[in-house]
Amino acid sequence: MKGSISSGKFYAGNNQAVKGTITTDANGDGTVSLTFRQRMKKVPVVIPGIQESDITGTLVAKTITQSGVILQVDGSSVTSSELSVGAIAFDDTYF
């Protein structure tokens, strides 16, 4: 985490974790919209991840805004079921 002290106050970047569930179709495809707890000051860097082991497929952050992210999975080995996903979002704008 990046930070500084100015006038006795500590300033740091906005780092958040979000999680959710994607309901996949028969092809292992699906999306989920996740909302950040606190709006970012600029569009953040997002690192998505699957929260389960032994899963194949591609997970991407499809749409990223200051308010949240849409995660999309394609070709998951989890078909017609639920897949736990999450993401780390990083906005290095100081508060």
Question: pLDDT tens across 37-78, in order?
Answer: 999 999 999 999 998 888 899 999 999 999 999 999 999 999
pLDDT value for 7: 74
Question: Residue 76: enclosing H or E segment and its boundaries?
Answer: none
Beta carbons of 83 and 4 less than 8 angstroms apart: no
Q: Does residue 19 lie in a domain region?
A: no
N-to-C CA span, the chain: 13
* pLDDT top residue among 53 and 93: 53
Q: Does residue 10 lie in a domain region?
A: no
Q: Does residue 14 lie in a domain region?
A: no
Beta carbons of 35 and 18 less than 8 angstroms apart: yes
- Asked if residue 5 has pLDDT above 90, the reply is no
Q: Does residue 18 lie in a domain region?
A: no
pLDDT value for 68: 98
Q: Confidence class of residue 1 from pLDDT cuts 50, 70 and 90?
A: very low
Number of domains in the chain: 1
Q: What is the DSSP string of 16-37?
A: EEEEEEEE--TTS-EEEEEE-S
Enclosing domain of residue 56: 32-95
Q: Does residue 69 lie in a domain region?
A: yes
pLDDT value for 91: 87
Q: Does residue 64 lie in a domain region?
A: yes
Q: Does residue 20 lie in a domain region?
A: no
Q: Does residue 27 lie in a domain region?
A: no
pTM over 0.75: yes
